[in-house]
Chain A
Amino acid sequence: MQLALTILMDGLIYASWLFVVALGLTLVFGVLKILNIAHGSLYAIGAYVAASMVTLFASWGLGGHFALIAMLLAAIGVALVMGPLMERYLLRLFYGRDEVVLLLVTYALFLILEDAVKLIWGVNPYYVSEPYQLFGNVAFASLFYVGYDFALIGLAVVCGIAVWFALNRTRSGKVVLAVIFSREMSASMGVNVDKVHMIAFTLGIFLAALGGAFTAPMISVQPGISVSVIIVSFAVIIIGGLGSIEGAAIGAVIVGLARAAAVHLMPEAELFSIYLVMAAVLIFRPEGLFQRAAARKI
């Protein structure tokens, strides 16, 4: 029982980390029909900028909880700069091309950003571990957890609800949903699809950067952190159904729990637990858990 609780808690913490990043990925796919490999690079950039911002704030004497604001500002800043820049001046050149071509464009972007990050921040690690201690420790199921981990769960829930609410309960959100449903129909109904693309992409970037920014205190920020997150996020949104927000949430929880169960019960299987889940879902429900059918009609 205690083991089950531990698996549940570990799985949820991991899932919430994944969810924030995967949510951005699935949103961008839903609206722009792009599987953005460079999403991981923006996660990394979010982490780097957050590290720099927190350090900057600290140098102004704004420590403690101000660090959280610094991290949030970092994510917003990355999104506002990189989102329009990438969407307007790069991706837009390739709209209408094959999905695979767009995938490769983002792969090229990933390569470019990897080196760009290195040119800006060098290879030395950055640390901003102070915020990790902000919420103290919490005992749960006879284990100690860091309060920050629970704050991450809160962040994921807030992000999920905010995005869901913005899409389903606001006028502009409904416009975005209309574009997700049918780009052509929305355009013919007078929706400014270009604008929707840019907003959705920027929001997606924001979520990637936010994931990176709030992970920064838990890791040493250095080259190479973008690769692993992108593959796992892909798995999450494929399991959940490309373009589906509920799917990203369920996918993240499934991946988180599968991984936690593997680590506690069968550590030697951790490496491919995620891919096995992904393959199984694709075989039995190729469209993901929350997606309309896309397998051959006949």
Chain B
Amino acid sequence: MSSPPVPSIGLRRLAGRMLAAAAALTIGLAASSAQAQETFRVGIVTFLSGPAAESFGVPARHGAEFLIEQLNRGAAPAPYNQVGFGGMRIEPIIVDENGGATKQVQELRNLYQRENVDAVVGYISSGDCLAVAPVAEELKKFLILFDCGTPRIFEDASYRYVFRTSAHATQDNVALARYMRARNINAGTFSMINQDYAWGQDSRSDFVAAMQQLYPQATANADLLPKFGAGQYGTEISALARANSNVIYSSLWGGDLQAFILQGAPRGVFQRSQLVLSAADHVLQPLGERMPNGTIIGARGAYGLMSADTPLNRWFFDGYSQARGGVYPVQAAYRVTQALLGLKAAVEKAMAANGGKKPTPEQLADALRGLEWDSPGGLIQMKLGNGHQAIQTMAIGRTRWDAARRQVVIEDIQRFAAECVNPPANMRSQDWIKAGFPGAKCDTPGN
């Protein structure tokens, strides 16, 4: 280095700019709180770029935009027919989730402190959820996690301001194993292929644990962990073909899952082995007839083609499909919808209690804790994590290409009651599976 740190001009200029930014901000802050009564600002964080955009991020965005537009017009069916949130117009601020957890922490702070949002609904990646939850808690701001899978969030910590309005990933794999058991699928041997990061690793260990309970004699063959975004699965498919197991299990998703199926189907592995996928309804429309018939799939809830036929669901399914040119809603769109409906229910419940004022984060948290509400995907119950973690009905089914309708249909659907595939409160998921699902209530058909 050949020179002093900063001559005074540079410094003064910088300081001036910072002060100007601060001043502009203070004014902005005052201005926005003046209008606060008429609008409710919701930050929506979802993948708009990167590998998760196509499968989850953008469908979630479409779901949120559809729902908010309907709610702002007061066009949703009862009990959600009040305009916006309790009469307040909903103003979404959409942010890209791509870019890593460090960026998400910063953007979440910006949403609350710079954009003055009243609540944030977001996060598909488990890593992002884990990172942002303590930030909202620290800032005492309201946060709903709408999609991420890891059970660790409320099992490792407890929060006042943070909620997750959809079930965590445990139910995906427990339901899958229960479905196989109920259908008496031959699973004496099974192989697995999962991405080598938390989602894949966690799904794999949940599935293995559930299999040990329901298929104690089964042996695991190939146990493959390709890296996230690998794209090329030729080698893995050879390994699966060599293993020649009764069942091939996978928690792959998105482009990775599509590539795996495209490359595996011609090599016959899915004819020799029963393919079971923990989260795959989002690839049915893109893959179409390329999806192997008879694949057992989950949707991370009773979503899309496996959703129950209720008036609310029919309204959502048809309305969304129409808005999206015939593309029906799947997992992510359902999950953001149930989050926003939960938020609406909480806002309106809090307003009923506080005399119609815009609720504070504390009032919102008190209202949402332990709440139950109807969603297109069924009843959402905030039963775990001291009323901060939802459980919901789960569904598993088998795919079949319907040539006449030119789409994949799902048959032989079995719905599982929320309490059949989720641990009871105050029990960790892995412990619950390993203890043989104590307290599971499976007799009531969850419809």
Chain A–chain B contact at Cβ < 8 A: yes
Set of chain A residues within 8 Å of B266, measured between Cβ atoms: 132-133, 137, 144, 146
B106 interface residue (CB < 8 Å to A): no
User: Which chain A residues lie closer than 8 Å to B52 at the CB level?
Assistant: 224
**Chain B nearest CB, measured from A29 CB (Å):** 23
Q: Tell me whether A220 and B255 are in contact (CB under 8 A).
A: yes
Q: Is the CB of B242 within 8 A of A219?
A: no
Given contacts A144-B267, A267-B223, contact A220 B235 (CB under 8 A): no
Contact digits for A204-235, partner B, Cβ 8 Å, 1 yes 0 no: 00000000000101111011110111000000
Q: Which of A10, A123, A145, A222 has the most CB of B within 10 A?
A: A123
What's the minimum C-beta distance from A67 to chain B, rounded to whole angstroms? 15
**How many B residues touch the partner, as a band?**
35 or more
Please report which residues of chain A, range 111-146, place their CB below 8 angstroms from some CB of chain B when the two chains form the complex: 114-115, 118, 123-125, 127, 129, 132-133, 137, 143-146
* B175 at the A interface (CB under 8 A): no
With A14-B232, A227-B229 known as contacts, the answer to whether A146 contacts B51 (CB < 8 A) is no
Judge if A109 is at the interface, Cβ distance under 8 Å: no
Which of A157-165, A192-200, A256-264 lies on the face that meets chain B? Answer: A256-264
Report whether A118 and B49 are in contact in the complex, using a CB–CB cutoff of 8 Å. yes
Q: Hey, what's the 0/1 contact readout for A1-24 against B, CB within 8 Å counting as 1?
A: 001001001110110010000000
Residues of chain B with a CB closer than 8 A to A218's CB:
232, 259, 262-263
Q: Is the CB of B224 within 8 A of A267?
A: yes
- Asked if residues A10 and B50 are in contact (CB atoms below 8 Å), the reply is no
* B262–A220 CB distance below 8 A: yes
B234's partner among A10, A127, A137, A217 (CB-CB below 8 A) is: A10
A270 contacts the other chain (Cβ, under 8 Å)?
A: yes
**Shortest Cβ distance from residue A254 to the other chain B in the assembled complex, whole angstroms:** 15
The residues in B between 98 and 156 inclusive whose CB is less than 8 angstroms from any CB of A are none
B255 touches A270 (CB 8 A): no
Bound-state CA distance A129–B185 (Å) is: 30
> Would A222 and B54 be within 8 Å (CB), given that A10-B234, A143-B238, A264-B239 are in contact?
yes
Q: Quick one: CB contact mask for A162-174 with B, threshold 8 Å, 1 for yes?
A: 0000000000000
Chain B residue contacts of A81, Cβ below 8 A: none
- Let me know if A268 and B225 touch, CB within 8 A: yes
Contact B268 A144 (CB under 8 A): yes
Known: A144-B268, A223-B50. Is A228-B231 also a contact (CB below 8 A)?
yes
For B231-253 the 0/1 string (1 means CB < 8 A from A) is 11011101101100000000000
Residues of B within 8 A of A14 (CB): 232, 234-235
Q: Which of B222, B235, B236, B287 has the most CB of A within 10 A?
A: B235
Task: Indicate if the CB atoms of B235 and A129 lie closer than 8 Å.
Answer: no
**Given A17-B232, A118-B49, A144-B241, A263 and B255 contact (CB-CB distance below 8 Å):** no
Would you call B227 an interface residue if the criterion is a C-beta within 8 Å of the partner chain's C-beta atoms?
yes
A149 to B287 CA separation, bound complex (whole angstroms): 21
Q: How far is the CB of A223 from chain B (nearest CB, A)?
A: 5
Known: A10-B234, A264-B235. A129 touches B226 (CB 8 A): no
Instruction: Choose among A11, A125, A145 the residue that contacts B54 (Cβ–Cβ < 8 A).
Output: A125
Q: Is A108's beta carbon under 8 Å from chain B? A: no
Give the distance to chain A from B103, nearest Cβ to Cβ, in Å: 14
Interface check A56, CB cutoff 8 A: no
Determine the chain B residues whose CB is within 8 A of the CB of A62 once the complex forms.
none
Is there contact, CB below 8 Å, between B290 and A13? no
Instruction: Check: B162 CB closer than 8 A to any chain A CB.
Output: no
At the interface, yes or no: A271 with Cβ under 8 Å from chain B? Answer: yes
Task: Given A6-B242, A144-B241, verify A270-B51 contact (CB < 8 Å).
Answer: no
The number of inter-chain residue pairs (CB within 8 angstroms) is: 125
Q: Say whether B286 contacts A124, CB under 8 Å.
A: yes
Nearest chain A CB to B372 CB, angstrom units: 34
With a cutoff of 8 Å between Cβ atoms, the chain A residues found around residue B222 in the complex are 267
Query: Contact: A263 with B227, CB < 8 Å?
Result: no
Chain A residue nearest in CB terms to B235: A10
Report the minimal beta-carbon distance from B183 to chain A, rounded to whole angstroms. Answer: 27
Task: State the CA gap A14–B259 with chains docked (Å).
Answer: 14
When chains A and B are docked, how far (Å) is the Cα of A23 from the Cα of B315? 54
Residues of B within 8 A of A9 (CB): 238
Chain A nearest CB from B241 CB (Å) reads: 5
Contact A228 B58 (CB under 8 A): no
Q: Do A114 and B242 touch across chains, with their CB atoms under 8 A apart?
A: no
CA distance A257 to B255 in the complex (A): 24
Alpha-carbon separation in the docked complex, A217 to B265 (Å): 13
Query: Counting CB contacts under 8 A, is B411 at the interface?
Result: no
B residues less than 8 Å from A137 (CB atoms): 266-268
Check A220–B232 contact: CB distance below 8 A. Answer: no
CB neighbours (8 Å) of B53 from chain A are: 118, 123, 223-224
- Bound complex: CA A127 to CA B57 (Å): 20
Quick one: which of B285-303 are within 8 Å of A by CB? 286-287, 290
CB contacts (< 8 Å) of A6 on chain B: these are 238, 242
Given contacts A268-B225, A271-B225, contact A220 B236 (CB under 8 A): no
Min distance, Cβ A58 to any Cβ of chain B, angstroms: 15
Contacts of A228 in B (CB 8 A): 227, 229-231
Which chain A residues border B278 with CB–CB below 8 Å? none
Partner of A219, one of B225, B227, B241, B255: B255
- Interface assignment of B381: CB less than 8 Å from any CB of chain A: no
* B239 cross-chain contacts in A, Cβ below 8 A: 263-264, 267
- Which of A10, A125, A268 is B238 in contact with, Cβ under 8 Å? A10
Question: A127 to chain B: which residues have CB within 8 Å?
Answer: 262, 286-287, 290
Residues of A within 8 Å of B318, CB to CB, are none
Residues of A within 8 A of B50 (CB): 223-224
Q: Which residues of B contact A260 (CB under 8 A)?
A: 235
Can you list 7 pairs linking A and B with CB atoms under 8 Å apart?
A14-B235, A123-B57, A143-B267, A146-B266, A220-B262, A225-B255, A264-B235
Which residues of B line the A interface, CB within 8 A?
48-54, 57-58, 196, 222-227, 229-232, 234-236, 238-239, 241-242, 254-255, 258-259, 262-263, 266-268, 286-287, 290
Q: Can you add 14 more A-B contacts, CB < 8 Å, to A11-B235, A263-B226, A267-B224?
A: A3-B242, A13-B234, A17-B232, A133-B266, A143-B242, A146-B267, A218-B232, A218-B263, A223-B51, A263-B224, A267-B222, A267-B225, A271-B196, A271-B227
